[in-house]
Structure formats: structure tokens, C-alpha cells
Structure 1
Amino acid sequence: MHGPATAGWLLVALCVATGGYCLLRMRSGVDEQRRWAGSEALMGFGMAVMAVPAAVLPPPRWVWTVYAAVFGGAALYTVLRSRLPAYRAHGTHHLLGILAMVYMAGAMAAAPGGAHGTHTAGGAPLVTGALLIYYAAYVLRTGGRLLPLPAGAGPGADGTVAVADGTVTVTSGAGATAGAGGRWGDRTELALACRLSMGIAMLAMLLTI
């Protein structure tokens, strides 16, 4: 119905919105929300730039080399952080996402003319296929977690819900924070929605490799 450029701009808008909310999460009063927010903002804005249609802004080949270097440094930083107990829950998924960015940047640098966005780039089919399978499963799993809970399936008697994927749903006690009713930067369901959006964006971009 619309050309590939329209899909590219929609993807850019999605990634910019996701990165912007991740910046908001960096100011959250909940430690679990802040832990990965900065790196996820970097990924969101990085994917937004990568998704700009090539017909509008064709980048020189060296841009992708810089991309690979930046996200390679982010991958090393993630490996170092993931060794700490508090960062292990979400560290593996986060590291895989950053390495996927390095892979896509390398594939685009190797493509004729440094193609990007909606243009086909050169990549390894097995690696691309494995990433597509992983992100398809991740999107389905994360989307399922955003579905409404059945009646009576809310928090336990003490008001606590377990931490999953580096996010907190509800905590109890004097300093309790409700994932659904706190400040915008503290809302667990919005953090999950951001990760779901980035997973969908990653799927869309991997399909062009």
C-alpha cells in the first residue's frame, strides 16, 4: 500500500519513542528500572538512525564501522556489568541485542554501497536466522506478559510480585512502588512495552539483512 520508505519512517518513530522513554526511566526512583535504561536508550536511538530510509540519507561506509565500534564497547561494558549478581537477570538478553546491533552494522558495512534501512545488506544467513528465531520468541513471550491477568491472579498477600527480566511489578512496605500506578519512569508495563517495541524493531531490521 505504501512504499518501503513509509515503513522505514514508522520504524524510526517507534525507536525514537522507545529511546525517549528509556531516558525517562533513567530518572526512576526504582533501581531495577534504572539498571538497563541507559543502554536501552542507546539501542533505541541507534536503531532509529539505522532505520532511516537510505533514499533520504545514504550514509558513508565508515559510519557502520563507527556503529560497530560503539556497540562493541557497549557489549564489553555489558559483559562487565553482567558479572554482578544484580545485573544477571536481564544481562544475557541485553548483551545479545547489542551484539545483534554490531552484526547488523557489520553486514551493512559489507553490503554494496553501505546499504541500510529498507535496503538488503549482506549478512550470514545462519546468524540472521538464529537471531530472527530468538527475537520472534522474545516478542511472543514479552507480548504475553503484557496481557491482562485473570481475576484473582494479582499480587500475593504481602503485595509482592517477583522480579522478571530486570523489572519490578509491585513492591511492598513503607517505600512501595506500584508498577502500574507510579510515575511514568517507574511503570513496569511501559518498560516491558519498550522492550517489546525494540524486539519488534529488531525483527523488522533483521528481515532486511
Structure 2
Amino acid sequence: MHGPTSPAWLLVTLCAATGAYCLLRMRSTVEEQRRAAGGEALMGFGMAAMAVPATAFTPPGWAWPLYAAVFGAAALRALWAARSGPHHLHHLVGTAAMIYMSLAMAASPASPHHSHTGAGVPLVTGALLLYFTGYVLVSGARLVPAAAPAGGAVAPRWGDRPELARACRLSMGIGMVAMLLTM
């Protein structure tokens, strides 16, 4: 992505940590948790790879179409999963955003300091920014700690805790907003 180096490394760290936590969530005993965690791990690691500053590493030209193909496959999987419920549509929007950013990076000049024409924010970027900003605000408001188990009941395993999964999704939403702002 084209942006300042320090925030880019913070974004890489956030996305990689989120991807690692999502990989650990794949060990859940709840099947729906495992499915969602796999797609979220892919998003986290993909966002981390995309956010590496161009001053540190500039991917070869073939990398961006490869990213688009990987996230295209993930989008098809999200589309297939969306038939079971609308909660999978967010994954579809996220993978579509990754495809869009991959294609935009493939079309951008090789220089990390390219010039802007002053034409404003592209329509797709603006729409994605609005969606993810709204998502971050709504999911941040919903991020309320779960009630403690009553009467000595066993707390769920840390990988099955819904508030941790929501925090994971919230951090990826924040990361997506940051990445879209640098486009």
C-alpha cells in the first residue's frame, strides 16, 4: 500500500496477529467457528502481506494478480456460504475489497511515491470506505463483554469466545479502512 512507513508496519502487525488468532480459532469444537475462522485468517494474513511498506519490499508484478485470484476463490466460497445466511455477506464484501485493492495495486505505478491527479476518491473506494467505516462503528458498539458464567459454570474455551471473534473482526475492519485510505 502507498502510505507512511510506521503506520504501515503497525497495520502489518495488527493484521498478522489477527490472522494468527484466527488460525488458533480453527481448533474450535464449534463447526461454524472453524469455518469463519479460516476465512478470517486468510483475510488477516492477506491484509498483512498487502500492507508491507513498498520501501521495505516491493512485490513482483505477478503477485497482485495472484492475490486477486486467491481472494477471488475466497469470494466464491463466501458467496456459496452466503446461501446459508446473510452473515456471510460481510466476508463476501471483504474478499471483494481485497480483489479490488489487488487489482488497483497491479495497475498502480511501480514507484512507492506516485503522483495523484487530484481527481478525488474513486467511487468503489468511497463505497468500500463507507461500508467498512459503518461496519467498524456498528461492530465496535456491539463489542460488549459477555456475561461471566453463573454459578461455577465452565467458561467457554478462549477460541470459542464470541467477544474475541468480534474483536478480531473489528480489528480487520479497522485495518481495511486504513488500507482503503491509502489507496
Task: Classify the TM-score, shorter chain.
Answer: 0.7 to 0.9
* Greater Cα radius of gyration, structure 1 or 2: 1
Task: Tell me which residue corresponds to 2:94.
Answer: 97
Task: Tell me which residue corresponds to 1:163.
Answer: none
Shift of the 7–119 alpha-carbon distance from structure 1 to 2, 3 Å rule, reads: farther
How many residues matched? 176
CA-CA distance at 1:89 after TM superposition: 3.6
Q: What's the TM-score, normalizing by structure 1?
A: 0.76
Partners in 1 of 2:110 and 2:131 — Cα distance?
29
Shift of the 34–89 alpha-carbon distance from structure 1 to 2, 3 Å rule, reads: farther
Task: Tell me which residue corresponds to 1:78.
Answer: 78
Partners in 2 of 1:119 and 1:20 — Cα distance?
32
> Structure 2: any 5+ residue segments left out of the alignment?
none
Query: Which structure's residues are more often helix, by fraction?
Result: 2
Partners in 2 of 1:182 and 1:19 — Cα distance?
21
Task: Tell me which residue corresponds to 2:161.
Answer: 187
Q: 1:11 touches 1:201 (CA, 8 Å); kept in 2?
A: yes
| 1:88-119 Cα shifts (integer Å, max 9, x gaps) | 1421111000000000000000001175xx97
| Secondary structure, counterpart of 2:28 in structure 1 | coil
Aligned residue identity for 2:95? I
Task: Tell me which residue corresponds to 1:127.
Answer: 124
Q: 1:12 touches 1:51 (CA, 8 Å); kept in 2?
A: yes
Aligned residue identity for 1:199? G
Q: What's the TM-score, normalizing by structure 2?
A: 0.87
Partners in 1 of 2:170 and 2:135 — Cα distance?
8
| Secondary structure, counterpart of 2:144 in structure 1 | coil
Aligned residue identity for 1:48? A
CA-CA distance at 1:35 after TM superposition: 2.4
CA-CA distance at 1:4 after TM superposition: 1.6
Aligned residue identity for 2:66? V
Partners in 2 of 1:121 and 1:57 — Cα distance?
22
| Secondary structure, counterpart of 1:41 in structure 2 | helix
Task: Tell me which residue corresponds to 1:109.
Answer: 106
Runs of 4+, deviation exceeding 6 Å: 118-124
Q: 1:22 touches 1:41 (CA, 8 Å); kept in 2?
A: yes
Aligned pairs for 1:148-163 within 5 A:
none
- Equivalent pairs: percent with the same residue? 61
Q: 1:60 touches 1:114 (CA, 8 Å); kept in 2?
A: no
CA-CA distance at 1:182 after TM superposition: 1.6
Aligned pairs for 1:2-13 within 5 A:
4-13=4-13
> Structure 1: any 5+ residue segments left out of the alignment?
160-176
